[in-house]
Structure 1
Amino acid sequence: MSWHELLADSGVASTRQLLAVISRRHLRTLVDSGRLIRVQHGIYAAVAPDHLARLRAMDLRIGERAVACLHTAATLYGFDTDPDTRLHILDPGVRIRPSTDLMVHQRLGAPLALVDGRLATAPAWTAVELARTLRRPRALAVLDAALHSGRCTAADMASAVAQQKGRRGIVAVRALLPHADGRAESPMESEARLVFIDGGLPLPELQFEIVDRQGRLWRVDFAWPEFGVVAEYDSMQWHATAAALVHDRMKVARLQEVGWASVPLVVDEVRKHPGELVARMQTLFERAALAG
């Protein structure tokens, strides 16, 4: 067996496994040339490892299957809104020192679930536990994302909140739970919605669909049908290209033709000037009410 074949299965191999098929000198040459990447002490990969490969490397290191938690579990479930490059695992009961890329956690009694053949703290527990560590806007974002992923329900998260009663940050998460909505499609949409909630604005419809005069269907992030107002979060990542700008301008024009006022939202407005944003929306609602 060659070292390529050895790595083909799980993507990682220990020093002992590699030395069974190549010499120590050859191993050193492969590492020095970058053909092998050191994932952890004594564990190597041929390509930059993803979370699953890093967990498999941890399996080799501790001699048993590592259990993912917090950010690592959320990544496996598809709702890590605030990525953390460190590996987060439950204490395996084997002496292992945390490092700059590894965090070992004590989570006695945490319910577990299988994801991609790997044990991790259960989805709802993970979402609530992660939300407890974040600022309110980001906490709502992870709760929204967990619901959007379909991995858990609002009832599941309410149960997880009850299970984590008394832990730091749980009061804030409990207060946010009634506002969690799986229709949100990005963390910044969640942050903007919290601005509306905190500002006392009427709750918007999410991912609202509108048909223009040409019969084309448009979907908007937020809509207040009773006022004829919509709001869209403009991400620089998705809206900065020429094609995106043309699309956005056409969308605004088509919506205006059928009586909708469109409000663009940007990150600074949501995070730095929420009061001004709320006042602007309130003014639009008042004008619409007077006109009606």
Structure 2
Amino acid sequence: MTRQQLDVQVRNGSLVRVWYGVYSRAMPDLIGRLGALDVAMGRPVVASMGTAAALYGFDTENTTAVHVLDPGVRMRPTTGLVVHQRTASPVQWVAGRRATAPAWTAVEVARQLRRPRALATLDAALRSRWCTSGDLERAVLRQRGRRGITAVRELLPFADARAESAMESEARLVMLDHGLPRPELQFTISSPNGQRWRVDFAWPAARVAAEYESVEWHAGRAEMLRDKVRFAGVQELGWTVVPIVVHDVRRQPHRLAERIAGHLARGTI
């Protein structure tokens, strides 16, 4: 098929251009795009940054561009492709492909992000079980001197595999930054009759809990009713539940911290 014929096929929607010289009937998934890039480069590429994080299952930033290490051949960044010049990056296999090692990847990604999202990445990396706190500490040491590493090093003691979403990580950092006691995560509250409810954050001594409420989770009536029943059950046991939404975390963090602090003070009187 000639170049002109390919262009016609792309224009009428019969084909999509994945990379220069590589076409497909439909845009492939991430593994397929990496495979197509192998074909375009004439050798296997190594996934890095957000692309590697996605392969390991801890891409909190919903990376759309494909990030790879410079393969050592002429390879220019283009739309949807970012080529990184990195030396001494450890590499391992995941999902049938080579990628920068998980702890190294998590620290590299976290270095590029604001503190709340950096903590979310570290939490997610631990939750994925691809790496441990010790692995992250060693990766931080190996990347010492690089931009953003100081902030990541300071966040590392707070990284926690129990965080179940990036926004829970962001909310927790608000609490820590404002001097609140470190909460228990994914804490189970039990009633005398055997009922059990789990809350995102808890300060058991004060009988105070906090729950992050996402718009996506409450998109359905069933989910909303389930949460109302859960909150009612927890409150009947003498607990105070503080609801948290994204506006609290990103727009009014001081007020959020004050609300929780007030409930904690009353709960410990």
TM-score, normalised by the number of residues in structure 1: 0.89
Q: How far apart are the structure 1 equivalents of 2:42 and 2:5?
A: 25
Counterpart CA distance in 1 for 2:12 and 2:54 is 31
1:26 Cα deviation (Å)?
6.7
- Specify the alignment match of 1:179 in structure 2: 158
The Cα offsets for residues 9-58 of structure 1, whole Å up to 9 and x where unpaired, read as: xxxxxxxxxx5xxx878755643432322101110122221111111111
1:1-292 matches, within 5 Å, as 19=1, 27=6, 30-212=9-191, 214-290=193-269
SS for the counterpart of 1:114 is: strand
Aligned residues: 269
Residue identity matched to 1:111: P
More deviation in 211-220 or 46-55?
211-220
Secondary structure (helix, strand or coil) at the match of 1:226 reads helix
Q: Which whole-Å deviations, capped at 9, do the CAs of 1:66-93 have from their partners, x for residues lacking one?
A: 0000010000000000122111000011
More displaced 10-residue stretch of structure 1: 99-108 or 174-183: 99-108
Deviation at 1:228, TM superposition (A): 0.2
Secondary structure class of the residue paired with 2:235? helix
CA distance in 2, matches of 1:71, 1:275: 31
TM-score (norm 2): 0.96
Q: Residue type matched to 1:36 in 2?
A: L
Counterpart in the other structure of 1:7:
none
Offset at residue 126 of structure 1 (A): 0.2
**Relative to structure 2, which stretch is displaced further, 279-288 or 123-132?**
279-288
Q: Is contact 1:138-1:191 (8 Å) kept?
A: yes
Are 1:206 and 1:220, in contact at CA under 8 Å, matched by a contact in 2?
A: yes
- Measured after TM superposition, the shift of residue 160 of structure 1 is 0.2
Partners of 1:99 and 1:285 in 2: how far apart? 52
3-state SS of paired residue (1:236):
coil
- Say whether the 8 Å CA contact 1:77–1:151 is kept in structure 2: yes
Q: List per-residue Cα deviations over 1:148-195 (Å, max 9, x = no partner).
A: 000000000000000000000000000000000000000000000001
Matches of 1:174 and 1:25, distance apart in 2 = 53
1:128 partner letter: V
Q: Gaps spanning 5+ residues in structure 1: where?
A: 1-18
1:88-130 Cα deviation digits (max 9, x unpaired): 0000111121112111001110000100110000000000000
